[in-house]
Amino acid sequence: MAKPLWRRQQRLENAETVKDIPHDPDIAYSWLLNPKSPTYMEDVRQFELCLARSEQVHTCQPHQCLVYDKQGVYRCKRRAPFSCSTEDGVDEQGTWKQKWSHGYVNGWVPSVLLNGRCNNNGKLLTNGRNTKNITLYVSSYAAKKQGRTYNL
């Protein structure tokens, strides 16, 4: 019996290694891993890499994320390529930067990726503007403004 594609992967470090990992659009619908397997931890690591390749790699496409800016030039509304960094850290303004080695791979939270099997992007909230903005967004979303259409 042939091994699933996700068992053949080695690493996800840069643009070249991302290209080496095959894109499997059906991986999100695959069977759960067997926790009784003697190679379970290695299977989880390799499965995470394949999920990341399939779900976390951003590809800019017209009419999806590419939009015209004020100068009439196409730009990615998701701000790709993302800025790369050699380490995680927080600067003096409270801005968090995640370790990123490839500009088109979204960062991810491993437990969310493995269990949700969907695109996700983790963000560390420090004291500052981001915390205020996300608090306002979540509060507004949960409380829903009582407009006329909501009461119908």
Closest CA to 47 of 92, 97, 10, 94: 10
At 6, the pLDDT band (50, 70, 90 cuts) reads very low
Asked whether the predicted pLDDT for residue 52 surpasses 60, the reply is: yes
Listed range (89-93, 130-134, 146-150) with the worst mean pLDDT: 146-150
Taken in order 28, 30, 31, 34, the sign of the CA dihedral is negative
Average pLDDT, integer, range 31-38 = 92
Alpha-helical (H) ranges within 56-118 are 110-116
pLDDT tens for each residue of 102-145 = 888 888 888 888 988 888 877 777 667 778 888 888 888 777 76
pLDDT at 87: 83
Residue 65, classed as helix, strand or coil, is: coil
Closest CA to 131 of 103, 101, 93: 93
Domain range annotation of the chain: 5-146
